[in-house]
A and B are shown apart, each in its own frame.
Chain A
């Protein structure tokens, strides 16, 4: 069993819609949770990180962690075509467990 499981997608939404991305993890010792965005043929870039449980907001992006259910979410409000990318969730542990990634397409 993978330590981080991510909804596989792909996801296609119209411009302006809310994008909801989810991951679950198995190791209750995980403390740091991150979301990376990867455009095609590029290295991933850090989008958001959270520590322990709670919400974190940055512009149109909101990251949520629910440690009781071991659930990680990323919400993108007012989605734009430039948000079209693959989103990777990451739970921080020694082995640096990544989710498989969800490819999001925002249609203009």
Chain B
């Protein structure tokens, strides 16, 4: 149990286009979902935290208008990279916490590799 999927797993796009990444909890309800980005050989950097039905909370330095997050249901959150540029190329990973658990154990998706040409 506690499986998180991401789609797509890999995307290549042209500079200036927008890209949407989906994160789904497949067999549990996720009260909170998190979005991270990871550069090669570096650790995960938390970008934002989203709770179902409310606005996402962004970490300092993360542009809200650039990285649009929607958490429309207890099983789905989306990250849209708007007007993507080559510097947005990265590995984007989502995670989800299960509803009803006292500690924030996170289950991670497999990640989405974004390449902006």
- Does A17 interact with chain B (Cβ within 8 Å)? no
Asked whether, in the complex, the Cβ of B103 is within 8 Å of the Cβ of A44, the reply is no
> Which of B42, B91, B105, B111 is close to A34, meaning CB atoms less than 8 Å apart?
B105
Is A108 in the interface zone, CB < 8 Å from B? no
Contact with A along B75-117 (1 / 0, CB 8 A): 0000000000000000101010000000111111111010000
A88: contacting residue among B44, B104, B105, B109, CB under 8 A: B44
Given that A34-B105, A49-B103, A96-B34 are contacting pairs, would A41 and B46 also be in contact in the complex, using a CB cutoff of 8 Å? Answer: no
**B contacts with A, residue count (CB < 8 A):** 22
- Determine if B111 and A32 form an interchain contact, defined as CB atoms under 8 angstroms apart: no
Tell me the count of chain A residues lying within 8 A, CB to CB, of chain B. Answer: 21
| A98: chain B residues within 8 A (beta carbon) | 43-44, 46
Note all chain A residues with C-beta closer than 8 A to B34.
96
Contact A99 B105 (CB under 8 A): no
Give chain A residues whose Cβ lies under 8 Å from the Cβ of B113.
41
- Contact at A46–B107, with CB atoms within 8 Å? yes
**Residues A43 and B108 in contact in the complex (CB < 8 Å), given A32-B103, A49-B103, A51-B103:** yes
Interface centre among B6, B46, B91, B106 (most CB of A within 10 A): B106
Query: Which residues on B sit within 8 Å (CB–CB) of A42?
Result: 110-111
A-side contacts of B43, CB under 8 Å: 88, 98-101
Within B1-58, which residues are at the interface with A (CB < 8 Å)? 4, 6, 34, 41-44, 46
With A42-B111, A43-B109, A96-B34 known as contacts, the answer to whether A32 contacts B42 (CB < 8 A) is: no
Interface string of A89-105 (1 = CB under 8 A from B): 00010011011110100
A78: chain B residues at CB < 8 Å are none
Q: What are 12 A-B pairs at a CB distance below 8 A?
A: A32-B104, A32-B105, A34-B105, A43-B4, A43-B93, A43-B109, A43-B111, A88-B43, A92-B103, A96-B104, A98-B46, A101-B43
- Residues of chain A at the chain B interface (Cβ within 8 Å): 31-32, 34, 36, 41-46, 49, 51, 88, 92, 95-96, 98-101, 103
B contacts, CB < 8 Å to A: 4, 6, 34, 41-44, 46, 59, 91, 93, 95, 103-111, 113
